[in-house]
Amino acid sequence: MDIEGLIEEGHIQRIKPSRELSEKEFDEAEYDLKRAKTELEEEDYKWTIIKAYFAVFHSARGILFLMGYREKSHFAVGEVLDVLCSEGKLENSYIADFKASSSARQSADYHYDYSKKRAIEIVELADEFVERMKKLRDEF
């Protein structure tokens, strides 16, 4: 789906591009990533996964604010990332990473399905994802 389709279907709305809102999101992403790593050290794997996902989410949301969009759902963030991929601005692996971290978060939060191995994987994924979003941020 393209941006116009996402707007028409109510998944995102146009806003004035905002570096200020974007920076708040990146600050939240850094906070969540730090907390995920702390939770991992404390062997709280459920919260490790949840916090790592929110680091991914907030960093991606920061990109939307720079683009001049506000999402109406977590799904919409992934869809905008997909548009960026189709435009050659983002590698496809980051779409897969967004979806994988979202799925892991839902499994941990709603189905109580989490493990040390999965927590480590999602923290590593989140670390790389946030760094890639920072590089993408610099292109705006």
pLDDT digits (tens, 9 = 90+) for 70-88: 999 999 999 999 999 999 9
Of 29, 30, 53, 51, residue with least CA distance to 42? 51
Number of C-beta neighbours around residue 27 at 10 A: 12
For residue 106, the one-letter residue type is: Q
Q: CATH homologous superfamily for 3-10+19-137?
A: Nucleotidyltransferases  domain 2 (1.20.120.330)
| Averaged pLDDT for residues 50-68 | 98
CA geometry: angle at 5 spanning 4 and 8, to 5°? 85
Secondary-structure percent of the chain, ordered helix, strand, coil, rounded to 5:
75, 5, 20
**pLDDT the model gives residue 87:** 94
pLDDT band with cut points at 50, 70 and 90 for residue 140: confident
pLDDT digits (tens, 9 = 90+) for 1-52: 899 999 999 999 999 999 999 999 999 999 999 999 999 999 999 999 999 9
1 and 73 Cβ atoms separated by less than 8 Å: no
